A and B are shown apart, each in its own frame.
Chain A
Amino acid sequence: EVQLVESGGGLVQSGRSLRLSCVASGFTFDDYAMHWVRQVSGKGLEWVSGIGYNSASIGYADSVKGRFTISRDNAKNSLYLQMNSLRVEDTAIYYCAKGSNFGPNCFDPWGQGTRVTVSS
C-alpha cells in the first residue's frame, strides 16, 4: 500500500523558515515525480511545486518562486519543501502527492497533509 506521511508543519512567524518532509513507502520512490499541493482552510487546491523522479525537472508556482525550494532524497524515500520568507498567505494545509502511474503531473495518491500557520 502506498503511504505518504508529511511532517514539519507548525506555527511560525512571518519572515521565518520551515522545512516540510514527506516520507514515502509502498512504491519505488525514485520512479515517480512528486509534488506539493496546498489548501487554505475552506478554500480550493493550489499546486505549489513538483520535482521529477531524478530531480532534473523542477517547477514552482509563481506565488512561491524564489522563496520555496523542493528537493528529494531517493535513498531516504523522502521529499522536502524548504519554505523561506514565509508570509501570512502561506498559511495552509500542505499535501505531498505522488505523480500518478498514468502521468507524472497527475496526483495519486495524496498524503494526509501537514498544517502550516504563519502569524504576523
Chain B
Amino acid sequence: DIVMTQSPATLSVSPGERATLSCRASQSVSSNLAWYQQKPGQAPRLLIYGAFTRATGIPARFSGSGSGTVFTLTISSLQSEDFAVYYCQQYDNWPPLTFGGGTKVEIK
C-alpha cells in the first residue's frame, strides 16, 4: 500500500500570511494526487486534483505543486475561511486509495 505522510501536523499562521503544507508518498504516485479541505462539522471538499489543478470554484490563492513522491499545497494569503484541516490523497494505485494524516491550519 502507498503510505501518505503529511507535515506538519499543525501549522499556525496569521491571516494574510502564506501557508505551505507538505505531503510525501512512500512510492511514486506520478501526478495522481488530490488535496481536500475539511472544516469542523463538514464533509471534505476537493481543492486540487492532478497535483496542481484547482477544482471548480476554488480560489486562485490555493495552488498545488510536485510530482512523484513530494507534493506541496500553498495558500498564498490566508483568509479566515481557510482555517481548516487539509488532507492529501493518492489515486495512482488502488485498492487501497490512501490519505495522509492531515494538516490542521490554525490561527496564530
Residues of A within 8 A of B (CB): 35, 44-47, 50, 59-62, 95, 100, 102-103, 105-113
Contacts and interface: CB of A to CB of B under 8 A. Distances in A.
A60 B1 CA distance: 12
Given A45-B99, A50-B97, A103-B49, A111 B91 contact: no
Contacts of B87: 44-45
Contacts of A45: 36, 38, 44, 87, 89, 99, 102
Nearest to B92: A105
A106 B34 contact: yes
Nearest to A58: B95
Interface of B: 1, 32, 34, 36, 38, 42-46, 49-50, 53, 55, 87, 89, 91, 94-102
A103 B87 CA distance: 18
Chain A, interface SS category? strand
A54 B13 CA distance: 45
Contacts of A105: 91, 94, 97
A49 B36 CA distance: 18
B29 to A, nearest CB: 11
Query: Which 8 residue pairs across A and B have the least CB separation, nearest first?
Result: A59-B95, A105-B91, A110-B43, A108-B46, A47-B97, A45-B99, A102-B49, A106-B34
A59 B91 CA distance: 13
21 contacts: A45-B38, A45-B89, A47-B95, A47-B96, A47-B99, A59-B94, A59-B96, A62-B96, A95-B44, A100-B46, A103-B32, A105-B97, A106-B89, A107-B34, A107-B44, A107-B46, A107-B89, A108-B46, A111-B43, A112-B42, A112-B43
